[in-house]
Chains A and B, each alone.
Chain A
Amino acid sequence: MSEQTRIAGWTVLLALLVLAPLAITSGRWIEFMELTLFVAVLGQGWNILGGFGGQYSFGHALFFGTGAYIQALLQFKLGWSPWATLWFAIAGGVLVGAFVGYLSFRYGLRGSYFALITLAFAEAFHVLSRSLVAVTEGGRGVALDLNLDPDRALTTFQFNFGGDFLKAYGFYYTILVILMLAYAATWWMEHTRFGAQLVAVRENEDAAEALGIDAFRVKLGAICLSAAITAAAGVYYTQKFLFIDPGIAYGPTKSVEALFAPIIGGLGTVLGPLVGALFLHGLGEFAKETIGLVWEDRPGLDLILFGVVLILVLAFLPRGLVGLLDLAWRRLSGAAPAARKGKADA
């Protein structure tokens, strides 16, 4: 795909997402799009470290939960404005990322060991958030006050009782803005020297070091950026649902959700997490409408499908759905297969 087609493609996609509310008027489908974009942001956070950096984290809930908790607690305990707390929430996520990254990478944990230590840290934070009741309100969780005043919808960052437009589309555009920032950051990263170094570390850390790349610093940078994006997803979650508890914040669900979309969409590609999220949640919704109608709509159905898709993609599509789309595009446009540029292509 040439640079021009790619930019054209991005513009069309962006325009579609911005204009989607014109076509989607049902609240249910807006909710669906919000959830999908949320997972796409979560996935991009994971993708920076896992896809571009090759460091598979099994505990990304760490950063999500930290962002969500700081956003909730500073409002709940100190009464700060949500627009002020969000910077602290993201900074807190980055700090936790830097801490975990510093320890893990300084002590040379790679592959399975890195996956295990992120899982262990997530579980440690889970236990702490449940136990340190004086700080986190413990297992009860933190519930923020609902704002009923339409005039204060913007200042309280709560659109539930805002004007017609805010009520319907406020959170959709919030998550879309977060998505655009996150994806722009990832695209920018991919085109910088730092991005190239990160991919080099993924492909062969020893060789990269031999070329003079400071693998420790590169990985640390990646985990910080990854944590920032994931914490931003946490901020969104708190504002949208006005509630957070230890299980939601640090439980295994968010860690798993974060890695599904990028792996299925295409590891180490900017578009992968979005494609993966759209595919997975489309499939989940489809399953609810078909299988869910035949049997009862019970929990677990969508995740069974996600797991099966994950295994199938790992087995048959090493470059994910983006790789498949790329192949289809080349076939259709009749272009000669360009020189392979590896996983980062697309």
Chain B
Amino acid sequence: MDGAAATAVPSAGLLPFGDKMEFLGIDLPSYSWATVFGSAISGVFLGAVYALVALGLTLIYGVLHIINFAHGSLLMLAMFAVYFLWKLLGIDPYVAMLIVVPGGFLFGYGLQRLIIGQSSHGRDEIILLVTLGIAIVIENAALFAFSADERLVQVPYDMDGIDLGVTYAVYPELAALGGSLLITLLLWLFMTRTDTGKAIRAVAKERRGARLVGINVDHIFAISFGIGTACVAAAASLLAATYPVHPQFGYLFVLIAFTIVVLGGMGSFVGALVGGFIIGITEQLGRLYLGESLGLITISAIFILILLFRPTGLFGQRVR
């Protein structure tokens, strides 16, 4: 799980200068304005990727009221799919999106329809445990099949990019930012403009009422789960060129995605996007000031504080 953290967005010019403060034996350096700003910009790129993972999670929660613990392992699985498409067939990770996104949809649809829906008896706490069980099966199946080695897709353009003055942005980062904004927009259009999208919103608002007007609720549940998984698959192909994948890859991401979803408000798309950026920037600044390891405490701290004091999050409407 540290592999994912250590390979976070490279940021330039992190040389500290000036006085050092000490906090519990850790030096708190002071930085120039440009360094802090550059770090915040890398946080925006990181946040875009987080937002993409969180989007799928928030959609599933908004409709099914499921906290999907399998989300991280689905991300990991999709990353392995992207990796092997590249390794064995030479397919560029961004082109692989055309394959893994529909594949992810079908996989998620089947998972909800055949396993989660069947075994959970409609009880929230059982659903939670079933998704945890699925996560464990997927994670360990990957460990069994692929071993714990880290694998990275190598694209010829992974170091090219544009100089933003305070930091250097490589194309994979820019693609992740653009991709996540585009997917949020597409998802929003789908939810507001199409009949299926409207049916999903109807089910999210009032399950029984939706059933009464003739909506097949089980089908809609599975479709939502499928779309959530498709989002994660899209995220996987946007991440593949920057993050090496290994079986435990999903754990760190799922923790961060939960934080974002709770911060943004369970079920809110805008919340997931804004939350993603907030967490991305906080994490980068946390790393800058507290160091690579302790910097991650900022995420847990935000998570705990939001859960305690504002469980509806920034844009959420209802708590269960």
Contacts and interface: CB of A to CB of B under 8 A. Distances in A.
Interface of A: 54, 56, 58, 103-104, 107, 109, 111-113, 115-117, 119-121, 123-124, 127-128, 130-135, 138-139, 251-252, 256, 259, 263, 298-301, 303-304, 306-308, 310-312, 314-315, 318
B303 A120 contact: yes
Nearest to B142: A300
B25 A116 contact: no
B185 interface: no
A128 B119 contact: no
21 contacts: A54-B125, A107-B309, A109-B307, A109-B308, A112-B67, A113-B307, A113-B319, A115-B128, A120-B255, A123-B300, A127-B293, A127-B297, A132-B294, A298-B144, A298-B147, A301-B140, A301-B144, A304-B144, A307-B136, A310-B136, A314-B119
Contacts of A311: 115, 119, 130, 133-134, 137
A131 B129 contact: no
B56 to A, nearest CB: 17
Contacts of A308: 133, 137
A93 to B, nearest CB: 19
A interface majority secondary structure: helix
Contacts of A103: 304, 308
Interface in B13-56: 24-26
A120 B307 contact: yes
Quick one: which of A128, A131, A135 has the most chain B CB within 10 A? A131
Contacts of B308: 103-104, 107, 109, 117
Interface of B: 1, 24-26, 67, 69, 115, 118-121, 124-126, 128-130, 132-137, 139-144, 147-148, 247, 251, 255, 258-259, 262, 290-291, 293-294, 296-297, 299-301, 303-304, 307-309, 311, 319-320
Nearest to A315: B119
B33 to A, nearest CB: 26
A314 B294 CA distance: 38
Nearest to A132: B24
Given A103-B308, A116-B262, A123-B300, A58 B24 contact: no
Contacts of A315: 118-120, 130
A131 B297 contact: yes
A107 B306 CA distance: 11
Contacts of A128: 294, 297
A244 to B, nearest CB: 17
A136 B216 CA distance: 55
B128 A131 contact: no
B176 to A, nearest CB: 24
B133 A307 contact: yes
